[in-house]
Amino acid sequence: LYTAPDSCEGRCGEPFSEEDECHCHPECQGHRNCCEDYERHCGPDGFSSSRDSITDQELLELSEQLYRLDHNKARPSDVAINPQHLAGPDETGDEQDRSPQPLYKYVNEELFSKPTYASFIKLLDNYQRATGREEEVTAEELREQDRFLEEVMKTELMRRLLAFLRGKNRYGSEQEFVEDLKEMWFGLYSRGDGEQDSSGFEHVFSGEVKKGKVSGFHNWIRFYLLEKQGVVNYFSHNFNGPWDTYPDVLGLQFSWDGFYKEVGSAFIGCSPEFEFGLYSLCFLARPGRACHLSLGGHHLSVQTYPWTKSTYGGGRSFIATAYVMSP
């Protein structure tokens, strides 16, 4: 289902990694382990060039810039969490609630009136969480998708990301970028029974239930709103990031209407555009592999996977999942 990319599109000249199933650096020809389309993309007349590849160092630098540009993030006084029990490796899967109190002690809900938050929250009730059930997308829901993309693109953070990607010849215009974001995140595909039942946005931000377990569900705002309604029950955490301001990172265990999430992860206190932008960057730069970033001087990784069973736009991949990795 999730596989490393087997194409050199956008990967020419990138450093060798054992995680890759095929390679796109110049030495791959000597080692006979190039991807099949190496010549088409990376040859002298190819579509890509080494100057358009995104280096590890550029990812570290750009992620620090995006971190500084998250002007809509929560201030330390806006969010108070109560992580309680730190679960050991042998405790994460046993479905025991070891934290009697909710995770969120306080959230300043004035945050949610900011345009990117408000348009993001409107999207969360657009989905059937059970896989195998067809998603019916209404005209109103399509407008809500457009509104969210419109609002995030007004932010300095997303303008910086677009400028970087245009500099790498990934997109020729803002319109092209926005249209691609809409497809990769909101385009529907089938996780079960052939129904158009899922999308990257639903999986990552809203959450799904598949085979009796919570799947995806990596967003702190969604978690807070459902915990407040009493349908999410926080059990424990297995990782708490080193950040003393927001965004921070938490690895956590919880149940959603009785369905269990053994090890989830989430940025805490970031704006919707920060998470959306960072995951989009990693999906474009390192699909199917760990994307190594730096936030406020602390290193972390984001893992994304492309959906491999269907494509859009002449072979482009939908997002299957994206999440911050907790060690």
Q: Catalytic amino acids?
A: 203, 218, 261
- The structure tokens listed for 216 are 């995806």
Residue 74 belongs to what H/E stretch? none
Task: For residue 223, give Cα distances in angstroms to 118, 204, 231, 266.
Answer: 15, 12, 10, 9
Residue 272, Cα to own-chain centre: how many angstroms?
11
Residue 100 CB neighbour total at 10 angstroms: 9
Sheet harboring 248-256: ordered strands across?
208-210, 213-215, 259-268, 248-256, 232-240
Q: What are phi and psi of 202, to 5 degrees?
A: -60, -50
